[in-house]
Structure 1
C-alpha cells in the first residue's frame, strides 16, 4: 500500500544536469554516480540507491550525485531502474477520485509491489558485487517507495557473498511498519517527513534508538518538510526546502560513512 501522503501530494519539477553515466546492471538501466575526482581509487564501498515511484527525476539524480560526493572517492553509488520504466502518472495525483485511486492501486498491484521488488534489488546487489569486485561493504538507501524493498532486504536472511547488505536507510518512507524495524539486522537510518504516521515513526525510533539488543540506527522527523522533500517533490527553488534537502543528504552520508 502506498504512503497516504504520496497519493495526496503532486510532484514538482526541478532542473538538474546529472554528473554520472548510464549503464546496465543485472539487466536494469542504471545510473552510476561520479564524485568530482572519481577514478583515483578503486571503490571499497558501494551504495545502491532506490528512487521513489516516479523514477529518474532530476531531484533524485542530484541526490545520488550528492551522496557520491559526500561519500568520497572510495565509494560507488548506483541507481537501478527496478521499475523498468513503468511509473505512476503525475496526472493520477492527488488521488482524489475513485478512478485515480484505482489507477494507483492497479500500479502497486501490477508493478510496484514491494515484495516482488525485493528479489530485483538482490539481483542488482549480486551483479554489482561482481562488477565492482573491489567493494568490500554494500549499503542500500531508498526514497519513499524504494525505502520498503531496502528495509525488507535488510532483515531476515541478510547474509552470504553477493547477498549481504551492511547498512541501509530511507527518507520519507512508504508503507512504514514497525515489524520491519524489528527484523533489521544492520544499522538503519530513517528520515521522516511531517506526513508519515507519527506513531509508527515513534515505534521505529524506540526500536532502533531505544537500546534494544543488536539494534543500531537513527530516526529523525523533518517536521517542516512535506513527504518527498528529498525526491521528486523536492522544492529546490524554495530556500528552506533546499536547505533541508541538503541537510538530509548530508545526514544520510554521515550515517553511511560511519557504518558502511
Structure 2
C-alpha cells in the first residue's frame, strides 16, 4: 500500500487555484445529516425509497460545499435513471483537515497518521457498506482524493457491488492488480501518468472489463470534482457537470437489475 502520508498529489505542481477555492454560504444542500450505523453524522441525499445505495468517501476537507453540490447533482441524475440513495459518512468524525493548514506537510503527515489513517478508516468503511447491504439490492462506493484510495482498497474485497473514483490520491499499480469489482476511473491531469495508464490497462484485462469505465480529465486539476472545485472557472464547471452525469450513467448501468450480483 502507498504511504498514508502521501496525498494531493506530491508529484504534481499545486493547481493554480486557491486551496480550497469554494467558499461556504452559496449553496443550500438538498440532503440531510442523519445517524446511520456506527456514524453519528452521515450526509444522506437521494429519494426516500431506492433499491440501490452508494457510499461516498469525501476528500480530506470533509463536507465541503462543492462536494455536497456534486453529490446532490449525482442523486438527481440517478433519480432519472435508476434511483440511488447516497450516504456520505463522516469518517473523520468532525475533524477534517483544516483548510488554513493546506500545504503544511507536517500537519498533513500528522493528519494521515491519526484522523485519516487508512488502516483504521478502511475497516469502518467496509463495515458501513456491509450494514447497508442488508437494506439494498446493491451497495456501491465512490471516493475522492484520500477517499479514492479508500475506494480502490475496498474494491479489492468482495464487499461493494461496484465503485468509482474522481482524482484519487496515493494510487499505485497494485490498486489495478487487486481490483475485484467493476470500477469507473476518472483521474485528473495531476495524478501520476504512469500509474493512471497502468490501472486503465488493467481494467481492460478484468473479467468484468465491460462493466468498467475510464476517462482521463486532462484539462482540470486534482480536486476539480470535490473541495478544490472552482465552479466560476468555465472549464472546471464544464468537467464538473460532465463527470457527475458520467458517474450517474455508470452507476445506473452497472447496477441495473440484469447486472445485479447482490
- TM-score under structure 2 length normalisation: 0.86
Question: How many residues align structurally?
Answer: 240
Matches within 5 A, 1:1-260: 1-4=6-9, 8-9=14-15, 10-14=19-23, 15-28=26-39, 29-34=41-46, 38-39=47-48, 42-72=49-79, 74-93=83-102, 95=103, 100-130=104-134, 133=135, 135-156=136-157, 158=158, 164-209=159-204, 211-215=205-209, 216-260=211-255
Judge conservation of contact 2:148–2:169 (CA < 8 Å) in 1: yes
The answer to whether the Cα contact below 8 Å between 2:182 and 2:208 also exists between their aligned partners in 1 is: no
Q: CA deviation at 1:22?
A: 1.2
> Alpha-carbon deviation of 1:219?
2.2
For structure 2, the 5+ residue unaligned runs are: 1-5, 256-262
The alpha carbon displacement at 1:7 in A equals 9.2
Structure 1: 5+ residue stretches without partners: 159-163
> What value does the CA root-mean-square deviation take over the aligned residues?
1.8
Deviation at 1:4, TM superposition (A): 2.3
CA contact (8 A) 1:115 1:149 kept: no
Which of 112-121 and 56-65 deviates more?
112-121
Where 1:221 maps in the other structure, the secondary structure is coil
Instruction: Work out whether residues 33 and 64 of structure 1, in 8 Å CA contact, stay in contact via their aligned partners in 2.
Output: yes
CA-to-aligned-CA distance 1:17-75 (integer Å, 9 cap, x gap): 100111011232101103xxx34xx3111111111110001101111111111111631
Distance across 1 between alignment mates of 2:244 and 2:208: 26
- C-alpha distance in 2 between matches for 1:168 and 1:71: 15
